[in-house]
Amino acid sequence: MRVLAATSEIYPLVKTGGLADVAGALPLALARSGIETRTVVPGYRAVMAAARGRKVAAWEHLFGGPARLVAAEAAGLQLYVVDAPHLFDRQGGLYVDASGQDWPDNWQRFAALSRVTAEIAGGLIKGWRPDLVHVHDWQAALAPAYMRHGAAPAMLSIVTVHNLAFQGRFPAAIFAGLGLPDAAFSLDGVEYYGGVGFLKAGLQAASAITTVSPTYAQEIRTPEFGMGLDGLINARAADLHGIVNGIDTEEWNPKTDRHLAANYGPGRLGARNRNAAALAGEFDLDADHSPLLAVISRLTWQKGMDVLAESIDAIVAAGARLALLGSGDAAIEGELLAAVPRHRGRVGVRIGYDEALSHLLQGGADAILVPSRFEPCGLTQLYGLRYGCIPIVARTGGLADTVVDANHAALDAGCATGFQFAAAERGQLVATVARAIAVHRDAGAWARMQRRAMKADVSWDKSAAQYAELYRRLIGENDKTP
Ligand code: ADP
Ligand code: GLC
């Protein structure tokens, strides 16, 4: 089976969040069940530097300039890189400029990604045509619309929603520049509240929709989580599937992880102390044995980081230390940084993005805090499970689906892997941290929970099999239609 994927980020080439991890790991997992994936990605500078290949197509004008399509291999991934310097060769973020503002031509940048994907689906490349197109998030979601409205009307497609909060909404005036037929500007096309909606268009046009956990698949059918798209999603409920993400268990393996001060497995949890000591050094924390909580996160409202900032005094009063790595919202960064001088030795904050330090945190902290207001899947709690860094999470989306709360029944039955609280709210967060600290006092109980967490299946095996089954079902149904 041949699958054409499209994504705006892919680990290890470019990453701002979990989407990159998923886009980078899923093709490798699918390959193990005989599915070949080729992935269309923007030719950002980092991608052009890492993925050298050969030109397989060219355009004189692709949304404002000349472009080439380069077939390349990097990190075991087969890529189609959209080499369009006028769109992607620039300094700054993937989606925002150096001052944090969205690039004004984002609609062209990601319409280009989508359009190229649709053209490949339509036969642009001699000798390689996919059986199915699988696109991720709003940046690639226009591809199914391009396909349906001309480029490859019969091609099967899946849109995966990693976060419904990001929808790719633009004013109606851009429609003329998209190169879609006039009829596409309609209620069942790309029109969205009077403007153009990239994600909306994809959700409408795709053969099936998936999102990254069963709970989030239910949540987005409600006005509270649907972000204006719940009506459309409900209308397509029969084609909606929730498949929880896996993680790359080689990249994230405490036995071999090169970012750790000490490697360990479930039988050598004591070695984690050396990682904890390294963290105390990195974050200027007291090198005592009090519970060490980690946070690795975008610092945003979605992630409940404002609630965390409000809770720090109480967390410290309860006896824990906190080491936080993240970046994002300037106001939240400020509040978190302000807690450091208030709690010298107890709270350490590192603003920035640091892949290596994120591994050390998982390998040395006792618990990882994820107080999200909503969380489509969440990966940091999965890394936490794998590393015996016990997740303390809000009960939403994929967090609800992947962590077993240590209530009395679960502790008795020996199946708890972490702690959940009902909602991202200070009282509940602090009470749950206190509950975790109480269990932590019983070193044996804590170690049992760590070993159980480390045994949880967080690999891609089960989830990739679910994607493979969905692919096969869609193709099977398609073959049956006359
Ligand atoms: P989201 O994609 O919504 O940000 P996820 O939990 O799915 O949330 O994925 C976040 C990914 O980004 C994880 O791999 C996490 O380890 C990583 N990450 C987030 N912030 C940082 C940071 N400041 N430094 C290093 N890695 C980070
Ligand atoms: C999004 C979501 C996150 C999810 C990730 C990968 O960034 O916010 O919950 O884990 O995508 O699917």
Q: Which ligand is nearest to the CA of 219?
A: 2
Nearest atom (ligand 2) to Cα of 19: 6
Alpha carbons 418 and 436: distance in angstroms, whole number: 8
Residue 441 Cα, ligand 2 centroid: separation in angstroms? Answer: 33
**Count of structural domains, the chain:** 2
Q: What is the predicted pLDDT for the residue at 100? A: 86
Whether residues 152 and 9 fall in one domain = yes
Whether residues 437 and 465 fall in one domain = no
Whether residues 283 and 415 fall in one domain = yes
Q: Which ligand is nearest to the CA of 19?
A: 2
Residue 58 Cα, ligand 2 centroid: separation in angstroms? Answer: 33
Q: What is the predicted pLDDT for the residue at 482? A: 62
- Helices (H) then strands (E): counts for the chain: 21, 18
β-strands 367-370, 390-394 pairing: parallel
Judge whether 390 and 367 are in contact, CB under 8 Å: yes
Each residue's pLDDT tens digit, 110-143: 999 999 999 999 999 999 999 999 999 999 999 9
Let me know if residue 349 belongs to a domain.
Answer: yes
Q: At what angle do helices 355-364 and 272-282 cross, to 10 degrees?
A: 130
Alpha carbons 154 and 140: distance in angstroms, whole number: 18
Whether residues 297 and 416 fall in one domain = yes
Residues 6+ apart with CB under 8 A from 127: none
Whether residues 191 and 45 fall in one domain = yes
Alpha carbons 379 and 402: distance in angstroms, whole number: 10
Let me know if residue 323 belongs to a domain.
Answer: yes
Check pocket membership of 358 for ligand 1, CB cut-off 6 A.
Answer: yes
Residue 14 Cα, ligand 1 centroid: separation in angstroms? Answer: 12
Q: What is the predicted pLDDT for the residue at 479? A: 82
162, 164, 379, 458: which to mutate for ligand 2, most atoms within 8 A of CB? 162
Nearest atom (ligand 1) to Cα of 327: 23
Alpha carbons 148 and 144: distance in angstroms, whole number: 6
Closest-CA residue to 392 (of 320, 306, 290): 320
Beta bridge partners of 326: 297, 351
Judge whether 229 and 220 are in contact, CB under 8 Å: yes
Percent of the chain with pLDDT over 70: 100
| pTM strictly above 0.75 | yes
Nearest atom (ligand 2) to Cα of 162: 11
Check pocket membership of 380 for ligand 1, CB cut-off 6 A.
Answer: yes
> Residue of the nearest CA to atom 1 in ligand 2?
162
Whether residues 62 and 187 fall in one domain = yes
Q: From first to last of its 482 residues, what are the pLDDT tens digits of the chain?
A: 999 999 999 999 999 999 999 999 999 999 998 999 999 999 999 999 998 899 999 999 999 999 999 999 999 999 999 999 999 999 999 999 988 899 999 999 999 999 999 999 999 999 999 999 999 999 999 999 999 999 799 999 999 999 999 999 999 999 999 999 999 999 999 999 999 999 999 999 999 999 999 999 999 999 999 999 999 999 999 999 999 999 999 999 999 999 999 999 999 999 999 999 999 999 999 999 999 999 999 999 999 999 999 999 999 999 999 999 999 999 999 999 999 999 999 999 999 999 999 999 999 999 999 999 999 999 999 999 999 999 999 999 999 999 999 998 998 889 999 999 999 999 999 999 999 999 999 999 999 999 999 999 999 999 999 999 999 999 998 887 66
- Whole-number Cα distances in Å, 356 to 1, 257, 260, 286, 353: 36, 10, 8, 22, 9
Residue 176 Cα, ligand 1 centroid: separation in angstroms? Answer: 36
Residue 351 Cα, ligand 1 centroid: separation in angstroms? Answer: 13
Whether residues 133 and 165 fall in one domain = yes
* Cα four-point dihedral sign 449, 287, 429, 330: negative
Whichever domain contains 401, its CATH number is 3.40.50.2000
Alpha carbons 317 and 434: distance in angstroms, whole number: 10
Let me know if residue 290 belongs to a domain.
Answer: yes
Check pocket membership of 23 for ligand 1, CB cut-off 6 A.
Answer: no
Nearest atom (ligand 1) to Cα of 303: 3
> Residue of the nearest CA to atom 12 in ligand 2?
162
Let me know if residue 259 belongs to a domain.
Answer: no
Structural domain span for residue 476: 2-246+461-480
Closest-CA residue to 66 (of 50, 52, 53, 55): 55
Let me know if residue 258 belongs to a domain.
Answer: no
Check pocket membership of 390 for ligand 1, CB cut-off 6 A.
Answer: no
Whether residues 158 and 211 fall in one domain = yes
Q: What is the predicted pLDDT for the residue at 236? A: 97
Alpha carbons 51 and 37: distance in angstroms, whole number: 16
Let me know if residue 251 belongs to a domain.
Answer: no
Q: What is the DSSP string of 190-234?
A: TEETTEEEHHHHHHHH-SEEEES-HHHHHHTTSHHHHTT-HHHHH
Whether residues 92 and 226 fall in one domain = yes
Q: What is the DSSP string of 112-131?
A: HHHHHHHHHHTT-STT---S
Let me know if residue 363 belongs to a domain.
Answer: yes
Q: What is the predicted pLDDT for the residue at 478? A: 81
Whether residues 55 and 159 fall in one domain = yes
Residue 375 Cα, ligand 2 centroid: separation in angstroms? Answer: 7
379, 381, 393: which to mutate for ligand 1, most atoms within 8 A of CB? 379
Nearest atom (ligand 2) to Cα of 397: 9
Q: What is the predicted pLDDT for the residue at 151? A: 79
SS3 382: helix
Let me know if residue 252 belongs to a domain.
Answer: no
Alpha carbons 241 and 222: distance in angstroms, whole number: 15
Nearest atom (ligand 1) to Cα of 16: 12
Closest-CA residue to 417 (of 441, 384, 395, 369): 384
Judge whether 381 and 393 are in contact, CB under 8 Å: yes
Whether residues 476 and 374 fall in one domain = no
Whether residues 10 and 149 fall in one domain = yes
Q: What is the predicted pLDDT for the residue at 412? A: 85
